[in-house]
Amino acid sequence: MDIEQLKKKIRDVPDFPKKGVVFKDVTTLLKDADAFRTVMDHLHEQYRDAGLEAVVGIESRGFIFGAALADRLGIGFIPARKLGKLPADIVAEAYSLEYGTASLEIHRDAITPGMRVVIIDDLLATGGTLAATCRLVEKLGGIVAGIWILVELSFLHGADKLKQYPFYSLIKYEGE
């Protein structure tokens, strides 16, 4: 399955989560076993020789791709969660979204100094969520060895906030 075929598996949902936003729903891709396997094959190929020690997945769809990659690589998975969802000592980072503000948290003991991680999420819009996750990893002394995104809305220029990191997006939307 090629990139254009994968792109066709993603559903547009107008006016979600607020009026004027066209949400890229990847659940329609996830329910197709061949499409999901193709995505995971691309992801695994990208990072199998990267010397990673853990995968950081951003809540919530980053958990799906991130946990599957961690399993394939035989390394640990670290969830970056929304505010108030983690039970132990955390570090937190606030950030702006394209439609509001939020905070992310990681357990303080999840990342050790010098640990090489890849950060995984389903979609890059304005880059606030990913930039905040990078700051969290670095606050704990970790090394962002890569960022992988399934869908990039390149017309929003979110990747501009991530120029200092190795960045890869599988599917790009140039304008919407």
Residues recognised as catalytic: 61, 98
Q: How remote is the C-alpha of 14 from its chain's centroid?
A: 22
Given the structure tokens 């607020």, which residue do they identify?
A: 18
User: Sign of the C-alpha dihedral, residues 126, 140, 118, 163?
Assistant: positive
**DSSP conformation letters of 29-48:** HHT-HHHHHHHHHHHHHHHT
Pairwise CA distance, residues 119 & 41, whole Å: 17
The answer to whether 153 touches 125, Cβ cutoff 8 Å, is: yes
Burial class for 132, CB neighbours closer than 10 Å (0-12, 13-18, 19+): buried
| 42's tokens | 């691309």
Report the 10 Å Cβ neighbour count for 15.
Answer: 10
Task: Give the CA radius of gyration of the chain.
Answer: 15
